[in-house]
Amino acid sequence: MSPILRVQNLSAGFGERLALREISLQVLPGSITALIGPSGCGKTTFLRCMNRMHEEEPGGYWTGKIELQGLSQELRSLSLAEVRRRVGMVFREPRLFSHYSVFENLSMGSRAQGRDHTLRAYEDIEFALKKVRLWNEFKDRLHSSVDRLSSGEAQLLSLARTLSLRPQVLLLDEPGALLDPIFSSKLEEVMEELKQEMPILMVTHSLQQAGRIADRTAFFLDGRLVEEGETQQIFVQPREALTEAYITGRMG
Amino acid sequence: MRWPLGISLIFFGAVLTSSASSVRLLISRFESGLTLELGALGVAFALLGWILALPLGVLTGLSWSEGQWKTRERKALRLISEFLNLPWLPIAMLSWGTLQSRESEFWQSRLPGFVFWVFWVATWGRLTLKSSRLFSKFPSSQREAWQALGVSSWQIALWGVWRESRQEMIGVCVRTGLRLGLEFVFWLVLLLLVPSVWIQVGGTS
């Protein structure tokens, strides 16, 4: 099975501070890959390199090779707009555009990508809302404001906004961190369905969540990838002592 | 008192006292109808500056707030902006008058343009700085959300900032416009009144 995303010898940093060292990883189709590790280990930096958000941070740079399936050129050679269309990202907090309606929020990606035809925008929005199971709730109030939504609804709408661009890969940065158990569970169900169409790379601090939904898990420590493999293997029979120490809570 | 203002006042004073005769010439120029032409030129340049300054300022602010500019560059921008904030218009006008008194054909033909070019730069500089300051306050989390959708920096500048902070931006434009307009009128009045008093005093003595 050929990977959707292939990362080779990725190093990244901020100015003189190196945050990632020589990471190589493959993201397989139909999979959820969880990136785990203590705070500051580089997992979010890694995630942000995948859609080139990292290089837009102060002093941010990266070296190495990132390849996306179906493209003859590396990610570095693509325009940022193209990268962001192909590699969607959802943040820890919803980050909806306040003062805008549900429709405007969800069509923003299409508009930004120059696909601002109303019919196409409606198609994209319906597709995205159905994917996150919010179509019935919002189909009759697409033009209402997003300012009074619950954090769970807002996060699912953020996911829908990203999905409206129909990305090849989905990046999730602690997507359930601020959600109650009901929405967290709903999000996980949505992710399980989505992974069939686009592989998901997810940063999480919850080992339980990684254990529940991730097919593969990568453990980061001090900017290095210590170990990566099937989640079952990582949690039950880790190859590295450091991984075992982290999983069993004996680290630090 | 801020140092640019102090320096410019000293400069202005020095030029004013040392060029009484040139001021007389300047007035005669105004009286001959040149004021209208210069005024029209000034308004045209100021409008051009206005149109150019806002988007450029927002983009400058964007690169600033994204940390693409180092502290040294920020200081340099600050210095340039202070430099642009000097009351260049009266200084240049008086210098023009001084040079005119020497009856130099070269300067006589080129200085009116120079005067209003300087005024335009000052206008542009102020608006650029103000709009870049405004943009640097745009929340980074919102900017990232735009970026993640593939919205480019200039699109964020044109849509995002406008949609998120349009009221504040209109306020900046109105305030800056008023200030520039008032300053322009103030310096013109000063340039007309002070020399006329000077002439009157000189005439009676």
Q: What are phi and psi of A125, to 5 degrees?
A: -70, -40
Contact A29, A198 (CB under 8 A): no
Query: How close, in Å, is residue B132 to chain A by CA atoms?
Result: 17
Residue A68, in any domain of the structure: yes
Residue B154 predicted with pLDDT over 50? yes
Q: Do B164 and A99 touch (CB under 8 A)?
A: yes
The ipTM (two decimal places) reads: 0.87
Residue B102's CB: how many other CB atoms inside 10 A?
Answer: 9
Q: Write out the residue range of the structural domain in which residue A108 sits.
A: 5-247
Structure confidence at residue B39 (pLDDT): 47
Residue A48, in any domain of the structure: yes
Please check whether residue A165 touches B, CB under 8 A: yes
Q: Do A113 and B147 touch (CB under 8 A)?
A: no
Q: Do A113 and B150 touch (CB under 8 A)?
A: yes
Percentage of chain A modeled with pLDDT above 90: 80
Structure confidence at residue B2 (pLDDT): 42
Please check whether residue A57 touches B, CB under 8 A: yes
Residue A194, in any domain of the structure: yes
Which residues of B touch chain A, with CB atoms under 8 Å apart? 66-68, 141-142, 144-152, 155, 163-164
Give A222's DSSP letter.
Answer: T
Residue A140, in any domain of the structure: yes
CA–CA separation, B87 vs A15, rounded Å? Answer: 40
Estimate to the nearest angstrom the gap between the alpha carbon of A234 and the chain centroid.
21
Number of domains observed in the structure of chain A: 1
Residues of B in contact with A51 (CB under 8 A): 148
pTM of the full structure: 0.69
Q: What are phi and psi of A186, to 5 degrees?
A: -60, -45
What is the residue extent of each domain of chain B?
Answer: 33-192
Q: Do A97 and B163 touch (CB under 8 A)?
A: yes
Residue A241, in any domain of the structure: yes
Residue A64, in any domain of the structure: yes
Residue B7's CB: how many other CB atoms inside 10 A?
Answer: 14
Question: What tens digit of pLDDT does each residue of A157-169 get?
Answer: 999 999 999 999 9
Residue B79 predicted with pLDDT over 80? no
Q: Do B151 and A161 touch (CB under 8 A)?
A: no
Residue A177, in any domain of the structure: yes
Question: A97-106, A152-161, A219-228, B145-154: which range is least confident on average?
Answer: B145-154
Structure confidence at residue B8 (pLDDT): 43
Residues of B in contact with A93 (CB under 8 A): 141
Residue B190 predicted with pLDDT over 80? no
pLDDT band for A196, please (50, 70, 90 cuts).
very high
CATH code of the domain containing A188: 3.40.50.300
Please check whether residue A99 touches B, CB under 8 A: yes
Which residues, 6 or more positions from B131, have their beta carbon under 8 angstroms from its beta carbon? B53, B54, B57, B58, B60, B61, B169, B172
CA–CA separation, B105 vs B87, rounded Å? Answer: 26
In this structure, are strands A224-230 and A17-27 parallel, antiparallel, or unpaired? unpaired
Question: What tens digit of pLDDT does each residue of B3-32 get?
Answer: 444 444 444 444 344 334 444 444 555 555
